[in-house]
Amino acid sequence: MANSPMTITSSPLDDGQMVQVTGDIDYSRSSELRVELMGLLGRPVARLIIDLVGVNYMDSSGVAVLVEALQIQRKRNQKLVLCNLQPKVKGIFEIARLNTVFTLTDSVELAKGA
């Protein structure tokens, strides 16, 4: 379970931005994710899709970053969709009961229509 390198890439959508994240997200990494997301949300983004297909592990510090991004989007009446959550990542959302708060989809295509 060595920490695999974290990468964050973003690409434009017709109505927003998609961010793809790879690597484990723990307390040593979550600030990097926060910087990237807050930078992206420095301007309005109608739909922000975060693809977590390459994230095998996330702790509550990573979840907190996503909660912060969700709050920003909610206040602007804009969308945040998380997709392709791997089992361990889905697990922490279930434990924290955030799976009912976030919009979660099983694919990028579904996220584009959510």
Question: If binding is defined by CB under 8 A, does position 26 make contact with other proteins?
Answer: yes
Q: What is the SS3 assignment for the chain?
A: CCCCCCEEEEEEECCEEEEEEECCECCCCHHHHHHHHHHHCCCCCCEEEEEEEECCCECHHHHHHHHHHHHHHHHCCCEEEEECCCHHHHHHHHHCCCCCCCEEECCHHHHHHC
Question: If binding is defined by CB under 8 A, does position 54 make contact with other proteins?
Answer: no
Question: If binding is defined by CB under 8 A, does position 101 make contact with other proteins?
Answer: yes
Question: If binding is defined by CB under 8 A, does position 72 make contact with other proteins?
Answer: no
Question: If binding is defined by CB under 8 A, does position 98 make contact with other proteins?
Answer: yes
Question: Which of 35, 71, 107, 109: binder of other proteins (CB under 8 A)?
Answer: 71
Question: If binding is defined by CB under 8 A, does position 14 make contact with other proteins?
Answer: no
DSSP-assigned beta bridge partners for residue 80? 48
Query: What are the residues binding other proteins (CB under 8 A)?
Result: 1-3, 24, 26-28, 57, 59-61, 63-65, 67-68, 70-71, 74, 87-88, 91-92, 95-98, 100-101
